[in-house]
Amino acid sequence: MNAAPQVNLKPSSATSAGLRSVVPLSIVAILLGPAYALMVANSSPSLAVTLQPLSGPAGWREVDNVRFDWRPHFEGQSAQVQQRFRKGVQDVDVYVAYYARQNAEAELIQYENRIVDTPWLRKSIMGQLARSHATGAVELPVRRMDWNGRKRLVVYWYWVDGQVTTSATMAKVLTAKVRLFGGNAGAGVVVASARYFDEPGLSMNALTQFVATFDSSKLERGDP
């Protein structure tokens, strides 16, 4: 059984080890950029798959018949799912977009894709959550969103070839690595959000607890 991910509030930081791992792949992607672009353009169409319903952490129950007032936008995805989970009086929404195989019309990182679709506006970053995965820890910026008086906290992470990141640039680099050298073609994004009213404290606590124990390991292994 996989150990539950751990989460802690901590300030943003960049580690030298992380930079060392990104730079060589970035150089490769730049040098082989034209070849990579040709491979993407000539790649097979994205596969249609069915995502299994998400399971909430222990103590969180799924809420049925939800009319969501927010939704991420990811074009060309093979499958997507959005669900709401409740513990006590606190709700957390989760959205997953999955790309079984990326190509020119179906890329995880592209201009049209958005973590939260319009008319929601990003207001500020209020902190960071450090979430542990099988491949190491990743910092999740907690963003405030606002639309017509409605307010939300949002965190997200991408995965490509089993590697987890919040950086769109790093997700592109990992995609290039898979294209050029092979690996798990499955990729996607997990977005978790909690609504708040006057102060975000209770919603921040709920989001922290949920993210700490939400198991996304099957998705990240390419087993949706």
Phi-psi region of 65 (alpha: psi -120 to 50; beta: other; left: phi over 0): left
pTM of the model: 0.79
- Cα four-point dihedral sign 168, 188, 16, 20: negative
Q: Where are the domains of the chain?
A: 7-220
Query: Tens digit of pLDDT for each residue in 119-142?
Result: 887 778 888 887 877 767 888 999
What is the average per-residue pLDDT within 190-207? 93
Give CA–CA dist 169/216, Å, rounded: 21
Query: Tens digit of pLDDT for each residue in 47-106?
Result: 667 888 899 999 999 999 999 989 999 999 999 999 999 999 999 999 999 999 888 889
Peptide bond into 57 cis (omega under 30): no
Q: What angle do CA 155, 141, 213 make, to 5 degrees?
A: 50
